[in-house]
Chains A and B, each alone.
Chain A
Amino acid sequence: MALTPEQVAHVAALARLELTPEEASLYGAQLSAILEAAALLEELDVSGVEPVGAALAPAPAMRPDEPVPSLPAEQGLANAPARVGTAFAVPKILE
């Protein structure tokens, strides 16, 4: 299927990406081509097929429910682009 410019803009907004007009037109064409190739899957009858996840193990991994120390706040904040005290600082969300 070919994506319309509106669909490309909608997907970019959902993905929190801002595309230049050139990027929007390039990605629009490339995604359309990829989705067209993906249409191959439509020829398969998958009714009654249960989707699979990844796990192959016979049993899930379990561990004792014992509290362990978390990462200290200073270490957790060490890579913060901006911080206030022991919190990550972000622009105001309410005016």
Chain B
Amino acid sequence: MSVDLSLLEAAGMLRDGRVSSVELTEAALARIQAENPALNAFVRLDAAGALAAARASDARRARGEARGVLDGVPLAVKDNLLTEGVETTACSRILRGFTPPVDATVVRRLKDAGAPLLGKLNMDEFAMGSSNESSAYGPVRNPWDVTRSSGGSSGGSAAAVAARLCFGALGSDTGGSIRQPAALTGTVGLKPTWGRVSRFGLIAFASSLDQVGPMARTVADCAALLQVMAGPDAQDATAAPVQVPDYSASLGRGVAGLKVGVPREYFLPGMDPEVEGSVRAALRAYEQLGATLVDVSLPHTKYALATYYLVATAEASSNLARFDGVRYGVRAQDVKGLRELYVRSRSEGFGPEVKRRIMLGTFALSSGHYDAYYARAQKVRALIRRDFEEAFRTVDVVACPTSPVPAFPLGAQQDPLQTYLLDVFTLPCNLAGIPGLSLPCGKTSGGLPVGLQLLGRPWDEAGLLSAAHAFERAHPFTEAPRARG
């Protein structure tokens, strides 16, 4: 069936005239209708908009004016990316009914490339979570086992890609929110270098950490998506004026002579032994492909979790101050004054995890505590970045597990501190600003996917994609999930 094709296979069939964009889009919509009730990956469909874009794409192609590989390939985006005329809520009650007047730049670029956008994907509220359970729309269910979490916060994006509901998706990653759900669903997810991709129209969580990135079923698909997304943007001064290479052209390079760093701090006694086994096997596979494994140390890794939770929540408390019931979103009724309007709109609109993080961030920034918490965390962050700079003097990429555990049962995470520990392997990458990618490297005996994480030098997404592609070519992960429960 056509929805089982990879993004580039679908693009190839469009190019050869063997399928139309309308056919692909209708097949995807039918698949969503059949599978989404069990998965809850999509929170909103735009069937009319997607089909109109598909018809326009087919008409362009008939005229010989097809725009590029994405033209006509149906995709979907996380619900924290603004879509003009299509409700966007970041899966929070406080933004219920919010219909953006503009597209996020990345959304605009996908549309300009000709991709029909099927709808909006479920996520943890304001991207705060690792299990997708903080969504106002309920959790996403993992296509490999519907009693388990898809991971988060881009859980809807990951599940939709894994279950073949779309050919590729956009996610966002502040502390692992693309890579961890990719690992838990057997998909490929890339967090680009901070500054590689515009955040205009991304609903901000923690601005010094947030990046938008591609999620798909193959490394080459991610490369094709990043090609369209990357590069400066007049509407986002943080999208850096750095040359964007041809990502697809860099894929065939192989890994002969590549130095792969293995950080000893990323193999912890408490981690799942089957995850460790899969990742160690993947490292041996790199050796067999001609790469050299190098033992490296990232000594400040154990400080990343505390650093992240102070920096990210501080920035979140500031970013989320804009949700006050005045200009958009839900406003509390029957309030007596402006202050009560703010307090009641926010208290009724935000969920528990968001309130908890706003509280923590407000405390970390408050008078008398700023130096001890926020300022100190920003300095520790410098040490974490220095660890990577040091490692990349001797190695080309760093390879490690994406998540210490495979997909966990829904409802299993009760204590916030324990939940935050799920992100220990993904947080340092965001704090350092470097690119990171997760790709499937095997399955547990229980049939759950395991993710291998590759971390690279700033701006070297091409190197990461190339190293990931070499592994994928030797060990393709093509199995589709059959949802069980």
**Chain A residues engaging chain B, CB cutoff 8 angstroms:** 3, 7-8, 10-12, 14-19, 23, 27, 30-31, 33-35, 37-38, 40-42, 44, 46, 49-63, 71, 75-76, 78-82, 88, 90-93
Contacts and interface: CB of A to CB of B under 8 A. Distances in A.
A49 B379 contact: yes
B306 A38 contact: yes
Contact of A52 (B324, B331, B352, B381): B381
Contacts of A17: 343, 346-347, 350, 355, 358-359
> Binding site of A, secondary structure by majority: helix, strand, loop or mixed?
loop
B365 to A, nearest CB: 9
Most buried by B among A49, A58, A59: A49
Contacts of B310: 38, 41
Nearest to B367: A14
A57 B305 contact: no
A61 B362 contact: no
A40 B363 CA distance: 17
Interface in B186-217: 193-195, 207-209
Interface stretch (B96-104, B397-405, B444-452): B96-104
A76 B241 CA distance: 30
Nearest to B358: A15
Contacts of A81: 325-326, 328-331
24 contacts: A11-B363, A12-B359, A17-B346, A30-B417, A31-B363, A34-B309, A34-B417, A34-B420, A35-B363, A40-B306, A41-B310, A46-B380, A49-B379, A50-B382, A51-B382, A52-B381, A56-B240, A56-B433, A57-B195, A59-B241, A60-B237, A61-B236, A81-B330, A91-B340
Lowest 10 CB-CB distances: which A-B pairs, in order? A57-B240, A51-B378, A81-B331, A54-B208, A79-B328, A46-B379, A75-B101, A38-B306, A15-B362, A49-B379
B55 interface: no
B327 A38 contact: no
A16 B22 CA distance: 48
A93 B363 contact: no
A61 B356 CA distance: 35
Interface string B303-328: 10111011000000100010011111
Contact of B338 (A55, A71, A90): A90
Interface residues of B, number: 78
Most buried by B among A71, A79, A93: A79
Interface string B422-462: 00000000000110000000000000000000000011000
A14 B309 CA distance: 19
Nearest to B381: A52
B382 A52 contact: yes
A8 B359 CA distance: 8
A8 B366 CA distance: 12
Contacts of A91: 335-338, 340-341
B232 A41 contact: no
Interface of B: 97-99, 101-102, 193-195, 207-209, 232, 234, 236-242, 300, 302-303, 305-307, 309-310, 317, 321, 324-331, 335-344, 346-347, 350, 352, 355-356, 358-360, 362-363, 366, 373, 375-383, 385, 416-417, 420, 433-434, 458-459
Contacts of B459: 56
A41 B344 contact: no
Contacts of A78: 99, 101
Nearest to A92: B337
A80 B335 CA distance: 16
B379 A80 contact: no
B108 to A, nearest CB: 15
Nearest to A36: B417
Nearest to A28: B359
Given A11-B366, A56-B193, A79 B99 contact: yes
A51 B381 contact: yes
A75 B97 CA distance: 15
Given A41-B377, A51-B378, A52-B378, 19 more contacts: A14-B362, A17-B346, A19-B355, A31-B363, A34-B420, A35-B373, A37-B417, A38-B309, A40-B306, A52-B382, A54-B195, A54-B209, A55-B238, A56-B194, A56-B458, A56-B459, A57-B195, A60-B237, A90-B326
Contacts of B433: 54-56
Contacts of A10: 366
